[in-house]
Amino acid sequence: MKNLENLHLRNSFIRELDNRFYARLAPTPLKGSHLIAFNPNAAALLDLPAEEAQRGEFLRYFSGEQALPGSEPVATLYAGHQFGHYVPQLGDGRALLLGEVVNQQGQAWELQLKGAGITPFSRRGDGRAVLRSSIREYLCSEAMHGLGIPTTRALCLTGSTEEVYRERIESGAMLLRMAPSHIRFGSFEVFYHRRQFEPLRELADYVLRHHYPQLEPGPEGYLAMFAEVSRRTAELISQWQQVGFAHGVMNTDNMSILGLTLDYGPFGFLDDYDARFICNHSDYEGRYAFNNQPSIALWNLSCLGQALLPLFGEPRAQAAEAANQILDEFQGQYEQHYWQGMATKLGLESLGREDESLIQGLLDAMQQQGSDYTLTLRALSHYDPDDAISHTGLRAQFPGAPFASWLERYRSRLQQEARPLPERRSKMLAANPKYILRNYLAQQAIDAAEQGDYAEIETLHRVLQRPFDEQPEYERYAAPPPEWGKQLEISCSS
């Protein structure tokens, strides 16, 4: 195990890339900083004992007051398509990459301090994060990890007495987040649109060295990297759809080159099932509605493919055709992961010819009745076709002709399965979470934290690490949301 002083930070961005890719600067310390939350599971990925969080140096390192040994902070450059419109320069406007830590398993984790102050890419912003948004990211990144979905992680959350203005005056905060890489689709777009193809190639080579070492630099390697990014993205989005997660701001600068869930802003999990659910109050046209996420992911991948096109070899028409073939495979990859995952959630051992219709029928019934997405699937996990009491219980919880009609179809389908009931139930309970980070739960933690009470953050964090398990002492976190909880408006500043 390590202590803070021998984490042996290194910054391969500085070692291997020049200042066309970043700006070097130190964090701006928070005023009146204090530690709000610490995640020992994330610390373990750095071989860092939990006891280190109790040291005064821990707070100083992660509030920007003191530099970690070996830290060489940089704000990275990128561009991106925001709500479909290209913005030539974005970049880390409030985050600094401190460097990487390599753990005993040889895994490298980038440490990024979010809310670290103004950078050259702040675009007239203040460079700060607010407590509200930092709590949401701290909790949701760990909730997604608990659900088995690729994501950035969160090591700690630091509060302050510093005032930050968004829609109102709020408390400033810092979040230390971790990922194997924070490189985005937009990291490539910026150089393509500037017609700077040499740094474009250098960045691609950097990504190959560190994250796709099985691939060799050159047209075939770059195409293979693009294909792998597309495949990972297809699988990621299918996982989002299966758990009812809406990202809210699927701009290309928020899409990870590793297929991670990146940048938690106005996210939301479905309460009552609505395929057209829009979690972002600022998304006036519904571009990033829940049911649009697969098509938006493909659109974003086409932007990445365009940015990488100069690397795919000549003639250009042949390179474009190869890229388009990869894009053409996306829908099939997505659907394969999605339908198979949904079949597992319904306890089906194999995906039959009519099963997609059965699954869609359930979603349609939930849409018509306004059924809670998570609670419906969890309740189905306990369904026994031969137990009339379980039928009555389900119909009582989800009344109405659409669901009753679908349940008869489901009962007939289960009779074709050879899998014993206990095995099916076990598999379904492992695929259908009982606990998700509903917006109202996050809001309750935020409200308490703004009054100086951080206990709810800790409790929610503990519950969400085991979303599939029965946790009798936390049963209230699995309850349906109150009506006010379904009407919370979350904006990009969240």
For the segment 392-405, the average pLDDT, to the nearest whole number, is 78
Torsion of Cα atoms, 432 then 434 then 438 then 441, to 10°: -170
Same domain, 423 and 338: no
Domain assignment present for 38:
yes
69 & 171 share domain:
yes
Domain boundary among 300, 328, 343: 343
Average pLDDT taken over every residue of the chain = 95
* Domain with 117 in it: 4-79+90-182
Q: Which residue from 310, 368, 382, 377 is spatially nearest to 343, judged by alpha carbons? A: 377
Residue 469, pLDDT score = 98
Q: Decide: 171 and 159 in contact? Cβ < 8 Å.
A: yes
| Sole residue written with tokens 């209230």 | 476
- Domains of the chain: total: 3
User: Of the residues 253, 263, 271, 372, which is catalytic?
Assistant: 253
Mean pLDDT to the nearest integer, 54-59? 95
Q: Is residue 456 included in any domain, yes or no? A: no
The answer on 224 and 160 residing in a single domain is: no
Partners of 108 in the β-ladder: 102
Q: What per-residue confidence (pLDDT) applies to 492?
A: 67
In the residue annotation, 253 being an active-site residue is answered as yes
Q: Which residues pair with 97 in a beta bridge?
A: 74, 112
Q: Are residues 302 and 423 in the same domain?
A: no
Do 241 and 213 lie in one domain? The reply is yes
Mean pLDDT calculated for residue range 34-52: 97
Q: What pLDDT digit, counting tens, does each position of 223-238 carry?
A: 999 999 999 999 999 9
Residue 116: inside a domain: yes
Residue 391 and residue 277 share a domain = no
Q: Is the dihedral of CA 345, 347, 353, 358 positive or negative?
A: negative
Q: Which residue in 290, 232, 244 sits closest to 143, CA to CA?
A: 244
Instruction: State pLDDT tens for residues 129-168.
Output: 999 999 999 999 999 999 999 999 999 999 999 999 888 8
Sign of CA pseudo-dihedral 30, 32, 37, 38: positive
Q: 165 and 58 share a domain? A: yes
In a domain, 148, yes or no: yes
Residue 223 covered by a domain: yes
* Structural domain includes residue 131: yes
CB 62 within 8 Å of CB 29 = no
Q: pLDDT band for 393, please (50, 70, 90 cuts).
A: low
Same domain membership, residue 139 and residue 279: no
Final residue of a structural domain among 343, 364, 384: 343
What is the pLDDT at residue 485?
A: 84
Query: Residues 214, 276: one domain?
Result: yes
The answer on pLDDT for 494 being more than 60 is no
Assigned domain for 226 exists: yes
Q: Is residue 167 part of a domain?
A: yes
Domain boundary among 310, 343, 376: 343
Query: In angstroms, rounded to a whole number, what is the distance separating the alpha carbons of residues 310 and 315?
Result: 10
Report the Cα 243 to chain-centroid distance in Å: 12
Q: Clarify whether residues 148 and 273 are in a common domain.
A: no
356: left (phi over 0), alpha (psi -120 to 50) or beta: alpha
What are the distances in angstroms from CA 196 to CA 120, 185, 199, 200, 225? 20, 16, 6, 7, 20
Q: What is the pLDDT of residue 358?
A: 97
Tens of pLDDT, residue by residue over 296-342, are 999 999 999 999 999 999 899 999 999 999 999 999 999 999 999 99
Tens of pLDDT along 187-223?
999 999 999 999 999 999 999 999 999 999 999 999 9
Give per-residue pLDDT as tens, 444-472. Answer: 999 999 999 999 999 999 999 999 999 99
Same structural domain, 107 and 243: no
User: Is the domain of 26 the same as that of 165?
Assistant: yes
